[in-house]
Amino acid sequence: MTVEAPSERSRLTGAFYDAGITALLAFGLLLPLIGFLTVTDIRNELVLTTRWPLLFAMVGIAGFGRLFYSLSIQPWLRRRALRPPVAPPAWLVSGGKWFVPFAIGFVIVYPVVVVALNGWGGSVKWIDNFGIQILIYVMLGWGLNIVVGLAGLLDLGYVAFYAVGAYSYALLAKEFGFSFWILLPLAGVLSSFWGVLLGFPVLRLRGDYLAIVTLAFGEIIRLVIINWVDLTGGYAGLSGIPRPTFFGIPFNAEEDGFAAHFGLEFTPLYRTIFLYYLILALAFLTAFVTVRLRRLPVGRAWEALREDEIACRSLGINTTNTKLTAFGMGAMFAGFAGSFFAARQGFISPDSFTFLESASILSIVVLGGMGSQIGVAIAAIVMIGGTEIMRELDFLKQIFGETFDPTQYRMLLFGFAMVLIMVLRPRGLISSRDPSVFLKERKSIGADLVKEGHG
């Protein structure tokens, strides 16, 4: 006992010391960001105000979080590292086999469940803000997963291809009157072309240098959109973008609309449900093509490039074509998502295609696990769904004041989630570094003869 007591006291002292240092660092970092806020008063003048309750609440969360980590999570991680690996329980293995079919079935019947719970009047928000918004980021995450997760090419300008798809659809639909179904593949082709065009200058780059070039490419596209006012509208954006139709039947209240055509009462919910199943089909298409490509030689070349580019070249793999196909395929799916986004919103502007969007999509891929389709989908649901849920937390304004907007701290949650995942699961929620192709088990002739009693 005389030996254990000092050790326990020193552990507690070290934990409280780390918590205090963390709280001081959080106070210094958050003081200019959260402690002070400029607002406009009744005289239309900027006034500096303080938000001390919110600041001290954030500092307290940081301090207590560090204390909890030092006393609970860190010892558990050490014990876990010393334990020999054990097989997962049988119920978890059997349940994992049914997870994907259950998830697919749930997303298919999700609008039906929402309408049954909220009725026809209150279901638009839950299907649009949660279902459609999450599926857009799931599709973007799966597209970026080809470049980052499978090929190992760090892309910080992925939102540029998203913008190319959106503006391609908007401009061609407004100027030439083409339908959504014609422009959807065309937007994907144009985005893929720009993806290949980006791939040529970065063929010899890797790591941080590749990330800097892709980041610059994303900013170049955004600045071109802002300054080419005659074509893109600049900061004002483009409005009046044609919406997709149901086999030529528009979703409006006129006599030729969807509701009147089928003898139904008009409601915006019909168009929302149609858009939900449309983006769901596009997301399934992205997942299906990605899984099939991963089993083909090009997919195996992507994985070889991710693991070791020098060894990939020594095996005779053309790394130039491998990189270009990765950029092209990832950009194509971003173009599909961008054209859908423009058709869904009816209005687009450069504010929708900032670096923050690229960082959000990359965070989803990293948090979910690079190379994992299921992990990316779960991360998109948690991060984007959590952001949308924060919009509904109006009671927080009563605690921290009317100027408090929970959605402003989305990136703070992204950062906290990434730190937590990197500590607990360094390779993401679902790590996927297993080979995509397995050789069939073969028995030697000698082993067969011995088994048959001839040896």
Same domain? For 378 and 316 the reply is: yes
| Residue 46, H or E segment | strand 46-50
Same domain? For 233 and 294 the reply is: yes
346-358: pLDDT as tens digits = 899 998 888 888 8
Radius of gyration of the CA atoms of the chain, in A: 26
Judge whether residue 431 has pLDDT over 50.
Answer: yes
140-196: pLDDT as tens digits = 999 999 998 888 888 888 999 999 999 999 999 988 888 889 999 999 999 999 988
Same domain? For 159 and 68 the reply is: no
Comparing CA positions, the residue from 235, 112, 242 lying closest to residue 170 is 242
Query: How many structural domains comprise the chain?
Result: 2
Query: Residue 97 falls within a domain, yes or no?
Result: no
Task: Report the distance separating Cα 281 and Cα 283, nearest Å.
Answer: 5
Q: If you ran DSSP here, which 8-state letter would residue 360 be given? A: H
Give alpha helix (H) positions in 178-308: 180-199, 208-227, 229-232, 258-261, 269-295, 297-307
Query: Residue 88 falls within a domain, yes or no?
Result: no
Same domain? For 241 and 329 the reply is: yes
Same domain? For 132 and 46 the reply is: no
233-269: pLDDT as tens digits = 888 888 888 888 888 888 877 777 777 777 777 788 8
Query: Residue 93 falls within a domain, yes or no?
Result: no
Same domain? For 414 and 271 the reply is: yes
Query: Residue 103 falls within a domain, yes or no?
Result: no
DSSP 3-state assignment of 434? coil
Task: Report the distance separating Cα 280 and Cα 272, nearest Å.
Answer: 12
Comparing CA positions, the residue from 243, 265, 255, 277 lying closest to residue 121 is 265
Same domain? For 176 and 284 the reply is: yes
DSSP 3-state assignment of 347? strand
30: containing domain:
4-82
Angle at 165 between CA 124 and CA 346, to 5 degrees: 35
Contact 226, 353 (CB under 8 A): no
Query: Which CATH number covers residue 139?
Result: 1.10.3470
Q: What is the pTM of this model?
A: 0.80
Same domain? For 177 and 78 the reply is: no
Output the pLDDT for position 163.
Answer: 93
pLDDT bracket for residue 395 (50, 70, 90)? low
Task: Report the distance separating Cα 235 and Cα 239, nearest Å.
Answer: 12
Exposure class string for 373-405: b at 16+ Cβ within 10 A, else e: bbbbbbbbbbbbbebbebeeeeeeeeebeeebe
